[in-house]
């Protein structure tokens, strides 16, 4: 059985963004603008945190799926590709987390 990946989700979002009409929730979100997409992402982040704090595994999984979806929609709204985020993560794996965090504070 093939695994569903975050890239599959990004491709689905791209396809639905390109489609017109009232049938696509993704298209409706994008039509409301990047600020609306950012707010939806924030709402999902809070809901994910609440699920984690409440130690509700099933709810955490469901909210995490929503969070990833809304994150990718937000990236799409701002014209940022998942591959660009991955490239930044790749660069950061070449140093420790503490070193990476310190480099951001110094403007590097």
d(CA 83, CA 80): 8
The boundaries of the domain holding residue 12 are 6-79
Does 86 reside within a domain? no
Question: Which CATH number do you get for residue 74?
Answer: 1.10.287.1080
Does 21 reside within a domain? yes
pLDDT digits (tens, 9 = 90+) for 96-108: 767 767 777 765 5
Does 29 reside within a domain? yes
Does 14 reside within a domain? yes
- Residue indicated by tokens 């809304």: 70
Q: What is the pLDDT of residue 96?
A: 72
Number of structural domains, the chain?
Answer: 1
pLDDT band at 1 (very low <50, low <70, confident <90, very high): low
pLDDT band at 23 (very low <50, low <70, confident <90, very high): confident
């Amino acid at each position: 059985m093939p695994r569903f990946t975050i890239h599959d989700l990004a491709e689905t979002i791209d396809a639905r963004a390109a489609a017109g009409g009232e049938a696509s929730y993704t298209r409706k979100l994008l039509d409301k603008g990047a600020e609306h997409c950012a707010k939806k992402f924030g709402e999902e982040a809070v809901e994910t945190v609440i699920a984690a704090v409440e130690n509700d595994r099933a709810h955490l999984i469901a909210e995490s799926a929503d969070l990833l979806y809304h994150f990718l929609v937000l990236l799409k709204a701002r014209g940022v590709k998942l591959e660009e985020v991955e490239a930044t993560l790749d660069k950061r794996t070449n140093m420790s987390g503490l070193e990476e965090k310190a480099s951001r504070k110094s403007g590097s």
